[in-house]
Structure formats: C-alpha cells, structure tokens
Structure 1
Amino acid sequence: MYTNNFEKDFFWDEVKKARRIGISAHVRPDGDAISSCLAMYDYITDNYNKDGAKTVDIFSMDFSEKFLIMKNSDKFITNDDYKEPYDLFIVLDCGSIDRVYADEKIVNGAGEVFLFDHHVSNTGFAKYQVINSESASTTELIFDYFDEDKISKDCAIALYMGIIHDTGVFKHTNTTERTMVVAGKLLSIGKFNQEELIDGTFYAKSYKENQILGRALMESIMLANGKIIVSWLNRKIMDFYGVESKNLEGIIDQLRVTDGVEVAIFIYETADLEYKISMRSNGVVDVAKTAVFFGGGGHVKAAGCTMRGQLHDCINNLTLGICHQLEEHGVKID
C-alpha cells in the first residue's frame, strides 16, 4: 500500500509557517511510535525552531521507562495539558483517527493535519498523508523527509530506535535492503553505540517484567491442533505483580516462537469486560484482517484491536476467523 498526496518541500513550508505544532502517535505507544514522535520533534526544533519562537508539543500516554534513554523523552504532554489550537498537527505511526492518542478534537482542530504511517490497514483519515506499508517502520518512512545533513545525533538515535523495535532488531520479514541502508546511514550520522541502545530498550527487562512474562506463558493454552497459542492476564494478576500495559512488551513475541504455532494471541484486561488484543503471525495468516474486522488494525504479521465482552467469547470470535484462514491455506483444523 502506498499513498502520498503532498511533496516534501510543501510539508516543510507548512512547518516554517506554523506558530504552534502538535505531534502524536497511537495509544499504548511502542518503540516506533515514541521514536517517530521524538525524531520529528528533534528535527523540527533543531532546524525550524532555533529561536524557540514556535510551540512544539508532543502528546503521549505513559510509556516504558526504557525509552527515557532518548533525548527529549521528558517533553511529552497529555491531553490535559492542551491549551489552544495548533496551526499544524502531525500524526505518526497511527492507522485511524480513533487510535491517535491526542484527542480527536485536538487533531481535527488544527489548521492542517499531516499523517505519516506504514500500516497496511490505515484508513487514510488526514488531509495530507503519506502511507507506505513497505516501510519497516514509520521512522524509516520519515527519514526520506529529512535532509541527512540536518539530522542530529539525537534525531538519528530516535530514527534508529524505531527501526530496531519494529523489525525485532532486523529479524522480521519487514526488514528490507532499504531498511538496512537507512539504518547504516543513521549509524554513520549519529556515531552512537547501537549495542547499548538495543540491549537497553529491546532485550532488557525488569524483574517484575520477567515475572509477568513467566505468568503469561504459564497461563497460555494451545488451540487448533497447536496452530494457535493464546494467553491472557486480568487486572487482578497485573495488580498483583505491579505491572501496567507498558510492562507487557515482549510477551506476544515469546508466544509467537512456540514450536508449531502459526498465530499467537495475547490478551490483557484494560477495564471491566474490555480487553486489548495483540496478535502475531508466522506467515500463513494475515492477522490484520482479523484486527480490522474487530475495529483495530496493523500489519499482516502484527496487529491488534480492542474487544468487549466475556473473555471466552472474545477468544472464540478471534480464533474463528483465524481458523478459517488456516483452512484456506490447507491447514487441517479439528
């Protein structure tokens, strides 16, 4: 999927003219969401706001402390901090308006709205948008809109961080030759310690995060002749271990690598009878189709949604569509 209805120079002309600029990505932000926001913030403030005359705000809900390693990660504000309309609002790494963290009235209340995204399920909700599902991450996508000689070390780190988190440190099949070229350029520009960034933000886990990972694995069940693995956590268990949604990263990926599994599903309770669903596919199933059906979105191999109802009904409804796809590909399901 590729959509682009504006030129690079036009975008930066709008940035130059804007007095107030807002930036936001999707709710429950992952590495690419946080990193793309910070990269855009860094590039704008470094090159278009040297005198500090502009107001540049980046919106996000709470995120993992591991991303505090990036400069300006303390600059994020919440919807409660909103004061007055923006001349320009930039949405990053988000497939639909209802998934943007910043309130819809804040986004749509801006003079102009630009969208940069790489989700194949994107609904195309902005006036100006570039959507490229071939990009491994949104940070890879926005790299093409930055002049390389104007990218600071901190901006390069943020761009690189988004790539490593959305590619699983270059192991997922969304990693392309272009991805590696961009990553190499960022290493050359920033001259940073990539081992420290990768270990510190991708592999490192706190003790309670390791505990909840173990609990999620213990609670998992196998369905559809071992082709689907499902695990879930309710609020009582999360409160017992003292964890929040930001501490659950990596659980779905560990479920996915279970031998023989085609699809992994991880579910956690966000409110009474409300659940956040994450899905990962090993290739046969397009989990974005299932996510979109239930009002979510994502990529062919990684997608998610929010569901309401009884837990067992949510699991049954999710697996029904997944099993249908498996059977279409010749996988026998009893």
Structure 2
Amino acid sequence: MNEFISSIEAADTIAVTGHIHPDGDCIGSCLGLRQYILDNYPGKSVTVYLESIAPEFLFLSGADSVKQEAEHKSYDLFFVLDCSSLDRIEPYLSMYERAAKTFCIDHHISSKGIGQEYILKPQASATCEVLYELFEPDRISLSCAYCLYTGIVHDTGVFKHSNTTKQTMEYAGRLISKGINTSRVIDETFYQKTFVQNRVLGQALLNSRLYEEGQIILSYLNEDEMQALGADSGDTNGIIDQMRVTKGVEAAVFLYALDKDTYKVSMRSNGRVNVAAISEEFSGGGHVRAAGFSMKAGLEEVTGIVLSKIREQL
C-alpha cells in the first residue's frame, strides 16, 4: 500500500490547502482531492481552506464549502497542494503546524520539500495531473474529474504551453470520458471575461513597453489604475499570457499593485530565460517558463530589479 493511500486511511479528520491567491490548478487539486476522499472513503471528514475563489470556479463540487478563515483545530492529516514553500500557505500555517501528519503534493521545480511526506513531480503539467496518477482511475467520479480537468486546463493554458505532454493529453482524455462538458470548463473558466477584465487587459496592454530590442515586454497596473478600473487580483488573469505571445519576445513581465507599497510580479519565458530562478531569489515560486513573486517596493524599483535580472540571462 502506498503512503498516500495509507495516510488517508489512517486519518479521520483531513484538511486540504493550497497556495495564496489560488489559481485553477490550486483550486482544482484541492477540491479534486476532497471529492476523491469523500467518494471513496466514507466517514472521513475533509475540509478545504483557501483564500477567496474566483466566481468562475464556483461550479466545482465543494467550492461552496471552502473555508477562508483559519480555525483553531488540529487535524489528523493536513495536505498542502500545488505549493512550493510554507510562506505560501501563511494564512493556514498554524493549522499545518498543529496537524499530526503533513503531506505535500506538488509539481513546481522550485518546491522546498515541505511536509513529513512529500510527492514532487516537476515533469507533470499540473498538480491535478500528479493527483490523477495517485488516484485509481475507476474510482474517479464525474465531480472529481471536473476538478482535475479544470486544473490541467489552466496550468497548460488549454494545452498550449510547453508543459503539455502526451501523458497530459492522455489523462485529460480519460477525464473527458467520465462525461465532462469541456466547453463549460474551457470557455467559462478560461476564455470568458467580464467587462472589467477586458478593460483591465486593455489598460495593461496600453501600459506595455519593450526593452532590449524587443526581447522583453513589461507592463503594470498601479494602485490608482486598479481602483479606477474596479479591479482585483482575479481580474488580471491571462494578461501575462497575452503579453508572452508578442512577436520577438523572450520574456514577459506583468506587475500589479496589491496595495500602495507591494507589487505582484508575474513572469513568462519563451525558452531563453529561467524565470523560476529569478522568482526564487525573492521567495516566489513557479516553473522555468512561468513564475511569480510579490515584492514590497515601489513600481520603479520593482521594474528596475526585474529587468536587471532578466538582462543577466539574455
């Protein structure tokens, strides 16, 4: 019996969490694991803790039961998914530390090896892909399949990023065979945008600038612009990927204000730049071609630092 299954079977109370600012893979993996346990291990208590989930993901099973606030509870088993370091689960760190057993499952190459038990597969496109390998395929319900498929769709950019492999497509196909309505996932959670999101994208593209003879594209949204647009962090999804496909670009950078003195930095690479290495320098995480971090500094300072780090690799 593998450690993943034996850990679940030995626990009565189980908590699941993922990284701050949860994206599709984080949400899909947390809800997918919850659903798989509830479907196949009757009597287990499973609670998911995540920061606010974007509205487009609320159709996923269990999304309405997610708790945003940490509780003073001690769990038999605490899963950390899609997360490379403990500072990325800061809101729930005290619960993690009180748990009898901790178990991390991830695919980020920058992962620090957290948890008493640890499964890392950097060759996987998404943590949801890692979970698919851990689950027994015949015991994956339609509700669970929707969660896993959503995570894979988002971390592969609808199967167009370089992390998409033959194995990724095979797993996605098997999940689809459970009865998934693919357009519901792809159109409604990935491509469909609100009016505010379209305005945010437009402003970000207007603010974009090229550096190093077109090899770097960088854009930003400062605090005043975020407020004027009525935007929050969820409204910035997809901007960096649109910037990355600019002809001639090797690296794309998008910054947006979290508050007056803090910026979230998202980076994408088309091959020559290892953005994960840059992100790790500032306690961030990610992959060679997709990574990010937060920095407490002004826009001009953050921009200068990031551009300098990218230039070192060009």
The one-character-per-residue Cα deviations of 1:222-261 (angstroms, maximum 9, x if unpaired) are 1121111111112221121211101110111111111111
In the alignment, does 2:1 pair up with 1:14? no
Contact 2:251/2:267 (CA < 8 Å) preserved in 1?
yes
1:281 to 269, 284, 287: 269
Q: TM-score, normalised by structure 2?
A: 0.97
Q: How does 1:259-270 map to 2 (within 5 A)?
A: 259-270=247-258
In structure 1, the residue matched to 2:47 is 57
**Residue 111 of structure 2: SS of its match in structure 1?**
coil
The one-character-per-residue Cα deviations of 1:29-65 (angstroms, maximum 9, x if unpaired) are 110000000100000111113xxx4321101111211
Q: Distance in 2 between matches of 1:175 and 1:208?
A: 30
**Which amino acid is 1:70 matched to?**
L
In structure 2, the residue matched to 1:225 is 213
**Which amino acid is 2:109 matched to?**
V
**Which amino acid is 1:315 matched to?**
T
User: How much has 1:133 moved relative to structure 2?
Assistant: 0.6
The one-character-per-residue Cα deviations of 1:178-207 (angstroms, maximum 9, x if unpaired) are 10111111111x212112211111100001
**Residue 64 of structure 2: SS of its match in structure 1?**
coil
The one-character-per-residue Cα deviations of 1:75-101 (angstroms, maximum 9, x if unpaired) are 110234x14111100010000010125
In the alignment, does 2:118 pair up with 1:129? yes
CA RMSD, 1 decimal:
1.2
Gaps of 5+ in 1: 1-7, 327-334
The one-character-per-residue Cα deviations of 1:260-315 (angstroms, maximum 9, x if unpaired) are 11111111111231111100011111100110111111100000011122211111
In structure 1, the residue matched to 2:298 is 310
**Residue 268 of structure 2: SS of its match in structure 1?**
strand
The one-character-per-residue Cα deviations of 1:90-139 (angstroms, maximum 9, x if unpaired) are 01000001012542111121000001000000011211001011000000
Q: Distance in 1 between matches of 2:184 and 2:100?
A: 40
In structure 2, the residue matched to 1:191 is 179
Q: Distance in 2 between matches of 1:84 and 1:290?
A: 36
Contact 2:18/2:83 (CA < 8 Å) preserved in 1?
yes
Q: Distance in 2 between matches of 1:222 and 1:195?
A: 35
The one-character-per-residue Cα deviations of 1:143-201 (angstroms, maximum 9, x if unpaired) are 1111111110010111111111111111111011110111111111x212112211111
User: How much has 1:319 moved relative to structure 2?
Assistant: 1.1
**Which amino acid is 2:78 matched to?**
F
Contact 1:64/1:247 (CA < 8 Å) preserved in 2?
no
In structure 2, the residue matched to 1:4 is none
In structure 2, the residue matched to 1:110 is 99
In structure 2, the residue matched to 1:249 is 237
Q: Distance in 1 between matches of 2:97 and 2:187?
A: 38
The 4+ residue runs of structure 1 with deviation greater than 4 A are none
Identity %: 41
Q: Distance in 1 between matches of 2:230 and 2:29?
A: 29
Contact 1:24/1:102 (CA < 8 Å) preserved in 2?
no
Contact 2:84/2:111 (CA < 8 Å) preserved in 1?
yes
**Which amino acid is 1:24 matched to?**
T
In structure 1, the residue matched to 2:38 is 45
**Which amino acid is 1:140 matched to?**
E
1:164 to 149, 153, 156: 153
User: How much has 1:17 moved relative to structure 2?
Assistant: 2.2
In structure 2, the residue matched to 1:86 is 75
In structure 2, the residue matched to 1:139 is 128
Q: TM-score, normalised by structure 1?
A: 0.91
Contact 1:23/1:89 (CA < 8 Å) preserved in 2?
yes
Q: How does 1:61-80 map to 2 (within 5 A)?
A: 61-80=51-70
Contact 1:59/1:101 (CA < 8 Å) preserved in 2?
no
Gaps of 5+ in 2: none
Contact 1:121/1:292 (CA < 8 Å) preserved in 2?
yes
**Which amino acid is 2:234 matched to?**
K
